[in-house]
Structures are given as structure tokens and as C-alpha cells.
Amino acid sequence: MKYYAASSFRNISNVRLLTSALNEKGFTQTYDWTKNQHAATIKDLADIGEKEKQAVQDSDFLVVLSPAGKGSHIELGIALGQGKPIYLHSENNDILDFETTSTFYHLDGVKMFVGELPAFIDFILSEQDISNY
């Protein structure tokens, strides 16, 4: 079972905790963007964008950790367009707050979770049983 984890550079530590936990349970991360440096050129951006787009397309599900950057929202759109399950996490209520939420967070196929990261990881594991694959 393959997944892609989307977020922002300021959230790298939580992304690494998530991916480590999923990988330990036998899931496969399609691309680890946390190993990238910040892009220095337009060509760098295009190369990274191509890798991330392909990683979303190759995944069975997408995980988005808030706070997420603009690229994460594009990745969310790619996954929505492909009908992939999406798991959206926030430690606070921003994804449910009318002033800060996105219309796309409330579409079918997006499972929102507000709470601590370890509980969110357990939620994903309960939903995505790798023994079925």
C-alpha cells in the first residue's frame, strides 16, 4: 500500500514522524520531499513539482498535515481528481473553522482528523489495513 505525505517545510518533523510510523507498518512512501533543499531556481521547482505530482499519482492514498503549504493543496487537488482517499490532519480546529477551512476539505473522500499526531496515525492504520494487500 503506497501513500504520499503532503505538508509544508515548517512541518517536516511531524511529516517524518508520520512517515516513519507508516513505513514501520509496511506502507511505502512514494516520494520523500523532506530530503529536498529549498529550490533555488525555476528548474528546481519544476523538477520537484514533477516528482511530487508523480508521487501523488502513484499513491493509493494521500495524507495532508496542517499547516500545509500551497503545493500541498495542489497535491490534494490531484488526489481528489483521481478519487484517492485523503487523510487531513490538524492539531487544532483550523480545518473545521469556517474562516480558515477550505471548501475542498469537506468533499467526499476527505477524512478530517483534529487531534494529536499519534492518534491520527492510529486512525490511518485502522482505515488502511495493509494486511488486505
Residue 39 has which C-alpha cell?
529550490
Domain 2-132 has CATH 3.40.50.1220: yes
> In 10 A of CB 61, how many CB atoms?
19
Grid coordinates representing 113 are 482528523
Residue 39 has what pLDDT?
A: 83
pTM, full prediction: 0.93
Alpha-carbon distance of 80 to 97, in angstroms, equals 21
Joined together, the cell numbers standing for residue 96 give 473545521
* Whether pLDDT at 132 is above 80: no
Q: 28-29 and 2-6 as β-strands: parallel, antiparallel, unpaired?
A: parallel
In the predicted structure, residue 129 carries a pLDDT above the cut 80: no
How much is the pLDDT for 94? 84
Residue 69 has pLDDT above 70, yes or no: yes
Which residues are CB-neighbours of 5 under 8 A, at least 6 positions away? Answer: 15, 18, 19, 22, 29, 62, 63, 64, 65
Mean pLDDT of the chain: 93
Task: Say how far apart CA 94 and CA 24 lie, in whole Å.
Answer: 29
Could you tell me the residue ranges of all domains in the chain? 2-132
